[in-house]
Structure 1
Amino acid sequence: MVYYINIGSNLGNRLMNLTRAVSAIEKKFGWFELSHHIESEPWGFDSKNRFLNVGMAFISEMQPMEVLAALQEIEASINTEKHRNPDGSYKDRVLDIDIMDVEGVSMDTPELTIPHPHLNDRPFFLEPYNELKNLINNNSL
């Protein structure tokens, strides 16, 4: 299955945070494609810190919930703080990894919805996602 994820950071050395995440994901899953980086305003909360995002695609035979758990472990190893306030609202974060879509999978659980419910609402999701889809379709995977 082809997984499409988004990696974002708006604290610290954002590019280094993304690079560390990409490296850890490559080590776990192997082959990958990357989109260009995109800078964006925070979505869902106010902050003076802009996000740097990158889309990533990789192939895995693992089930989506297993991939989610692996990505959450990677996220926690780089970002030791939760990315939500106690009231559930978003806050600044060193790293945030979201599964945007999984080729051939549709699911809706409390932990994971595929495709991501905000895929079409967030330009910092949609632009890298479309770029990755085009790259992969042109490579005939």
Structure 2
Amino acid sequence: MSQHKVVLLLGSNIGDKKNNIDAALDKLKNVGEILKNSEYLTSAPVEFVSSNNFCNIATIIFTHFSPIQLLNYIKKIEAEMGRINDSKISGGYADRIIDIDIVKFNDLKFTSERLEIPHKKHLYEREFSKILLKDFI
């Protein structure tokens, strides 16, 4: 079984945001080793209106999981932590207790209904992502 190097972005804009991210990072230890975390960054919501700013972090993990296995585990973490709406299902963004996105998975290019790797919006469009990822990509 091979190790995969994965870059994730985590964000929260409800409740104790930093604590929410730390709890999600702790749960991610079940899928592999966390290699590196960025600094926390506060940013305004992107692509929707809210008075709640986000706390965000980038992380690099090593995992044996496939992209879909990892996505399924991430969705499980989000649901366990109380995330109700999924933007892929609802068709739009909303406030959320936790959001975990797979940005890169090795050098894989992968597209399905549920997942696109690399995550182009985070890599090329969103300023907060570019700041967090500058030392990770």
Task: Give me the TM-score of the superposition, normalised by structure 1.
Answer: 0.86
Question: Where do residues 1-141 of structure 1 align in structure 2 (5 Å cutoff)?
Answer: 1-84=4-87, 88-119=91-122, 120-133=124-137
- Identical columns (%): 25
Q: Is the 8 A contact 1:85 1:91 kept in 2?
A: no
Distance 1:108 1:97, change over 3 A: same
How many residue pairs are counted as aligned between the two chains?
133
SS in 2 for 1:22: helix
Distance 2:88 2:116 in 1: 21
Q: Deviations over 1:23-58 (max 9, x none)?
A: 110233123210111111101100110000000110
- Give the gaps of 5 or more residues in structure 1: 134-141
User: How far off is 1:14 after superposition?
Assistant: 0.2
User: Which stretch shows the higher mean deviation, 81-90 or 62-71?
Assistant: 81-90
User: How far off is 1:129 after superposition?
Assistant: 1.9
Q: Is the 8 A contact 1:83 1:92 kept in 2?
A: no
User: How far off is 1:93 after superposition?
Assistant: 0.7
Distance 2:133 2:54 in 1: 17
Task: Give me the TM-score of the superposition, normalised by structure 2.
Answer: 0.88
Distance 2:100 2:8 in 1: 7
Distance 1:88 1:56 in 2: 26
SS in 1 for 2:120: coil
Q: Alpha carbon RMSD of aligned pairs, Å?
A: 1.8
User: How far off is 1:121 after superposition?
Assistant: 0.6
Q: Deviations over 1:51-108 (max 9, x none)?
A: 0000011011221111111111111111241144985221111111100111220111
- Give the gaps of 5 or more residues in structure 2: none
